[in-house]
């Protein structure tokens, strides 16, 4: 299969590209990535000269580029997105453009080219926030609450509309919080690991009692692979880690594994509109795709810490580059204070 992977220079896309080339020795992969602040060509450097890999720099909203690449593809796996909730709160414009317009641009090109197969990578955040009980599944009603999740929800609807209206062969996956190698150090796990490696405190939002269901990125990539090859057209698959943790508990695990105490926690003002709990019921994916999460959390988190320890130049370049300005706007030059939420 010739697969076009959008956003393949980002966190999950990079992992998916390596997974596909390893697991499917006859497949060819082309990455389309705009190399925004979150895209990093260095991730794909080991593939330079690889006979089954091509990289194209370009924007998923650019009809010309998208059309040309889709013409030579059998399938599209669509990761490209603005992905960080905090950034969407500060300015939603890039989220609306890339996540919504970019998705429709790809769908249109797939349709124009004899219905190229399309897999859309989405998030559990489209379902809103859970109370203390219950789990999200494929039938959960949509209730997005941040500009990020609203833009992802809109994209999901457009993909479903392409199936219902035009019978474009699509599948969708909604997945919980990923962790693992190549994750940009603005997300909780890599931010906290790298802060500790720099001797900085870790900013824990609000009361630290928000819950996320953490899934190792390799488990997520296997799930997407299965949905792409064996999923039923028009269907959605939810992938979760069966691994709910409060942020406070997760922080304590990272501190313990890295040999630090709780004095390194810096309680900071909460994220506005902070969703309380996400958790996924993956029963459908388990039953119909034979998928289940395989990486035990403690193994995954130790491997992730070891990756950031071993790849210090990778994240130091990011943290000292353009990202530094963004980070210091929130936390100050010392990296320890956060301006008050104006509403509190
Ligand atoms: P990321 O921010 O690490 O990477 C996004 C990639 O998309 C980057 O390489 C970036 O350069 C590229 N990109 C952004 N705008 C583009 C554009 N206009 N044209 C082409 N490329 C563009 O994101 P991620 O964490 O790898 O997430 C990948 C996908 O998975 C996203 O769709 C996200 O919504 C979804 N998702 C992420 C998680 C998670 O925990 N990270 C969980 C569930 C779903
Ligand atoms: O510094 C922090 N302190 C903190 O307490 C950061 C960055 C986050 N948090 C909290 C907020 C969340 O409750 O940790 C939790 C995880 O935050 P993020 O890593 O920003 O992830 P989240 O907002 O849950 O969204 C992620 O998972 C779903 C991805 O960024 C999305 O792309 C994905 O769709």
**164-178 confidence digits (pLDDT tens):** 999 999 999 999 999
Q: Does the beta carbon of 87 lie inside 6 Å of ligand 2?
A: no
In 3D space, the residue among 239, 255, 272 whose CA is nearest the CA of residue 343 turns out to be 272
| CA atoms lying within 13 Å on the CB side of residue 133 | 0
Taking the model in full, what pTM does it have?
Answer: 0.96
Confidence at residue 246, expressed as pLDDT on a 0 to 100 scale: 98
For the domain spanning 2-181+215-242+275-295+323-331, the CATH number is 3.40.50.720
C-alpha of residue 86 to centroid of ligand 2, in Å = 8
pLDDT(339) > 70: no
Tokens of 277: 């709990």
Tokens of 173: 């996956």
Domain edges within the chain: 2-181+215-242+275-295+323-331
In 3D space, the residue among 82, 89, 251 whose CA is nearest the CA of residue 152 turns out to be 82
Q: Does the beta carbon of 83 lie inside 6 Å of ligand 2?
A: yes
Active site residues: 124-125, 148
d(CA 246, CA 213): 9
In 3D space, the residue among 175, 179, 333, 335 whose CA is nearest the CA of residue 254 turns out to be 179
d(CA 127, CA 136): 7
Other Cβ atoms within 10 Å of 339 Cβ, number:
11
**222-262 confidence digits (pLDDT tens):** 999 999 999 999 999 999 999 999 999 999 999 999 999 99
């Amino acid at each position: 299969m010739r697969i076009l992977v959008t956003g393949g220079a980002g966190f999950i896309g990079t992992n998916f590209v390596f997974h596909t080339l390893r697991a499917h020795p006859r497949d060819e992969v082309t990455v389309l990535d705009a190399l925004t602040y979150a895209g990093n060509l260095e991730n794909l450097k080991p593939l330079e000269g690889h006979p089954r890999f091509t990289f194209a720099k370009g924007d998923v909203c650019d009809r010309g580029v998208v059309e040309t690449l889709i013409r030579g593809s059998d399938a599209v796996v669509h990761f490209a997105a603005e992905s960080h909730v905090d950034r969407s709160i500060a300015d939603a414009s890039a989220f609306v453009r890339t996540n919504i317009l970019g998705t429709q641009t790809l769908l249109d090109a797939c349709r124009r080219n004899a219905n190229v197969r399309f897999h859309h990578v989405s998030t559990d955040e489209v379902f809103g926030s859970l109370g203390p009980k219950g789990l999200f599944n494929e039938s959960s009603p949509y209730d997005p609450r941040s500009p990020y999740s609203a833009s992802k929800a809109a994209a999901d609807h457009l993909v479903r509309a392409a199936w219902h209206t035009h019978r474009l062969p699509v599948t969708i996956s909604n997945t919980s919080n990923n962790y693992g190698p190549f994750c940009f150090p603005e997300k909780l796990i890599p931010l906290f690991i790298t802060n500790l490696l720099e001797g900085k405190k870790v900013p824990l939002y609000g009361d630290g009692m928000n819950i996320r269901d953490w899934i190792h990125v390799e488990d997520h990539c296997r799930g997407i692979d299965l949905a792409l090859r064996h999923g039923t057209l028009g269907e959605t698959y939810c992938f979760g880690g069966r691994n709910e943790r409060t942020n406070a508990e997760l922080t304590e695990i990272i501190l313990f594994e890295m040999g630090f105490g709780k004095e390194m926690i810096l309680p900071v003002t909460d994220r506005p509109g902070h969703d309380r709990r996400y958790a996924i019921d993956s029963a459908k994916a388990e039953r119909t795709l034979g998928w289940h999460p395989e990486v035990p959390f403690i193994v995954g988190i130790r491997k992730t810490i070891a990756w950031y320890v071993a790849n210090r130049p990778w994240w130091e370049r990011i943290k000292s580059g353009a990202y530094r300005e963004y980070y210091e706007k929130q936390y100050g030059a010392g990296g320890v204070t956060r301006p008050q939420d104006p509403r509190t």
